[in-house]
């Protein structure tokens, strides 16, 4: 049996977590899941659509938002109860953090960012991303229970038509004050709205070459195409755009149908976040920029002149 940690954000299911369920189904037909927080109770039955038979929901009145150490302890507690062959989660920042805490509680090794997993008797073999995905490492993990995250977008989400809803088993994890020391207590800002980076089919990303005041046309194009705006790390470091829009190794890893890379040089960290795009269009004044070698279509020129022309052409095509 394989146990999967499935994340949610205040009652909204993390769609990336469904990829970890697909990976689990490739290892064993018996897949169970763990979710944390009372908001998860209503979401849990839906996991049956993706092959989960039972969902263990850890509920505690003190968990009202993301609480990584408490989630890790709850996951470890469930693992101790059901003794799975492996504990998986998607390799998102939250998925990796919760698995790391669970591994610490269980005193077991943790393999992150796996693209392939093979289970054996006390020894698992994994292939995982290293150096921002530029190197694939094959390693053996010696442990009675494999704890591993699967790289985002390495496994496609697969539903099972006609599958029955998952059964829900609630439990109360034994939490210490230390488990609750780190938690989200408030959120300040607009709270989002629109399409998130992780789910967007079209992303229009800008880098240093766009300039602080040059994101207007990118926002227009994203709106016209039903997508969202992204950016590189240097842009967020300069304070031009919020970190929530950052694409890359330390931002969000994305896999849109169409990715615009505008004024972005193509640093390794950024490529790690966007290399799974189905089609990439790059606009840069430097024909030798690294991003150009990854692009399906490359345009050499000034984004300040090219982007308004693209926006006008798209608007005209939409009538």
Q: What is the CA radius of gyration of the chain?
A: 21
The number of distinct structural domains making up the chain is 2
> Considering the entire predicted model, what is its pTM?
0.81
Based on the fold, state whether residues 173 and 264 are members of the same structural domain. Answer: no
Domain with residue 307: its CATH number is 3.40.50.1220
Q: Does 308 map to a domain?
A: yes
Q: Does 197 map to a domain?
A: no
Q: Does 123 map to a domain?
A: yes
Q: Does 221 map to a domain?
A: yes
Based on the fold, state whether residues 163 and 229 are members of the same structural domain. Answer: no
Based on the fold, state whether residues 213 and 135 are members of the same structural domain. Answer: no
Q: Residue 87's pLDDT is what?
A: 98
Q: Does 72 map to a domain?
A: yes
For 250, counting Cβ atoms within 10 Å of its Cβ (0-12 exposed, 13-18 middle, 19+ buried), the class is: middle
- In sequence order, what E strands does 156-296 have? 167-171, 202-206, 228-231, 258-262, 279-284
Q: Residue 100's pLDDT is what?
A: 98
3-state SS assignment for residue 255: coil
Based on the fold, state whether residues 280 and 150 are members of the same structural domain. Answer: no
Q: Residue 196's pLDDT is what?
A: 83
Domain with residue 22: its CATH number is 3.40.50.620
| Percent helix, strand and coil across the chain, each to the nearest 5 | 30, 25, 40
Residue 106 domain boundaries: 2-180
Residue that finishes a domain, picked among 146, 180, 214 = 180
Q: Does 53 map to a domain?
A: yes
Tokens standing for 180?
Answer: 């609750």
CA-to-CA distance for 246 and 9, rounded, in angstroms?
19
Please, are residues 113 and 128 in contact by the beta-carbon 8 Å criterion?
A: yes
Q: Does 194 map to a domain?
A: no
Based on the fold, state whether residues 15 and 104 are members of the same structural domain. Answer: yes
Q: Residue 147's pLDDT is what?
A: 98
Residues of the chain with confidence (pLDDT) below 70: 132, 189-194
Q: What are the b/e assignments for 284-308, b being 16+ CB within 10 Å?
A: beeeebbbbebbeebbeeebeebbe
β-sheet bridge partners, residue 149: 89
Q: What is the pLDDT of residues 176-221, one digit of tens each?
A: 999 999 999 888 765 555 678 888 999 999 999 999 999 999 999 9
């Amino acid at each position: 049996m394989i146990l999967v940690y499935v994340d949610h954000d205040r009652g909204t299911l993390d769609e990336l977590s469904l990829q970890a369920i697909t990976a689990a189904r490739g290892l064993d037909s018996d897949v169970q899941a763990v979710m944390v927080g009372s908001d998860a109770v209503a979401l849990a039955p839906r996991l049956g659509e993706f092959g989960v038979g039972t969902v263990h929901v850890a509920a505690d009145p003190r968990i009202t938002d993301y609480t990584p150490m408490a989630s890790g302890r709850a996951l470890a507690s469930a693992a101790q109860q059901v003794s799975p062959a492996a504990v998986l989660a998607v390799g998102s920042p939250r998925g990796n953090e919760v698995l790391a805490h669970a591994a610490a509680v269980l005193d077991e090794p943790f393999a992150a960012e796996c693209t392939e997993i093979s289970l054996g008797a006390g020894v698992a073999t994994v292939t995982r991303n290293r150096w921002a995905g530029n190197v694939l490492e094959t390693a053996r993990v010696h442990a009675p229970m494999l704890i591993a995250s699967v790289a985002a977008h390495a496994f496609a989400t697969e539903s099972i038509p006609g599958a029955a809803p998952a059964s829900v088993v609630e439990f109360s994890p034994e939490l210490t004050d230390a488990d609750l020391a780190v938690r989200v207590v408030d959120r300040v800002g607009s709270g989002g709205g629109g399409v998130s980076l992780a789910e967007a089919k079209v992303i229009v990303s800008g880098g240093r070459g766009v300039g602080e005041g040059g994101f207007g046309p990118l926002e227009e194009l994203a709106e016209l195409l039903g997508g969202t705006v992204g950016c590189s790390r240097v842009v967020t470091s300069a304070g031009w755009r919020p970190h929530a829009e950052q694409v890359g190794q330390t931002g969000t890893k994305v896999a849109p149908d169409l990715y615009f890379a505008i004024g972005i040089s193509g640093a390794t960290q950024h490529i790690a976040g966007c290399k799974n795009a189905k089609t990439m269009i790059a606009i840069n004044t430097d024909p030798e920029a690294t991003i150009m070698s990854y692009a399906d279509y490359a345009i050499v020129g000034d984004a300040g002149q090219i982007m308004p022309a693209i926006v006008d052409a798209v608007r005209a095509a939409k009538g």
